[in-house]
Amino acid sequence: MERMTISLDDELVEQFEHFLVARGYRNRSEAIRDLIRERLEAERMKAPQGGHCIGTLSYVYNHHERMLASRLTEAQHRHHDLAISTLHVHLDHDNCLETVVLRGPTPKVEEFANAVISQAGVRHGRLYLVPVEIHQDAHAHDDDDSGPTHSHTHTQPIT
């Protein structure tokens, strides 16, 4: 690990110390590493590219809205290649929170998220993405090297 020294004006240090306490950081180094990772990820995601990502799409919606719950479920089924898992939470008698875990080409994930968030009745939609590298591995059956192979995907964060 490389050691760096930085200089900050007193006001910025004071604000940073409040940030550390508010977020529960135990030391400055880990907070700075997280801030750098966050900025690098944001810059990477803005760059036009055909890369892959993993992310979460969270939104609140009124389940009484005409056929909205059904349309949202159908959208996930149509994009089963992107939607890995969904968490559904009943907030009250009218509102639900859903979080969908997504994985795939960044432009397709963003397109899916925008289509969901723009549905009438969906509120507070937010997409969080992490750029990743996708690796496919093929392995022979566990007991017999001559048997059929299976493959699985490894998703490795870039930052």
The domains of the chain are located at 10-46, 52-135
The per-residue pLDDT for 56 is 97
The C-alpha angle 15, 3, 45, rounded to 5 degrees, equals 65
Is-above-0.75 flag for pTM? no
**pLDDT tens-place string over residues 35-91:** 888 888 777 666 656 689 999 999 999 988 888 988 998 989 999 999 999 999 999
**Sheet order of strands, 122-140 included:** 83-90, 95-105, 52-62, 122-140, 149-157
CA distance 27 to 126: 29
Fold of 52-135: Alpha-Beta Plaits (3.30.70)
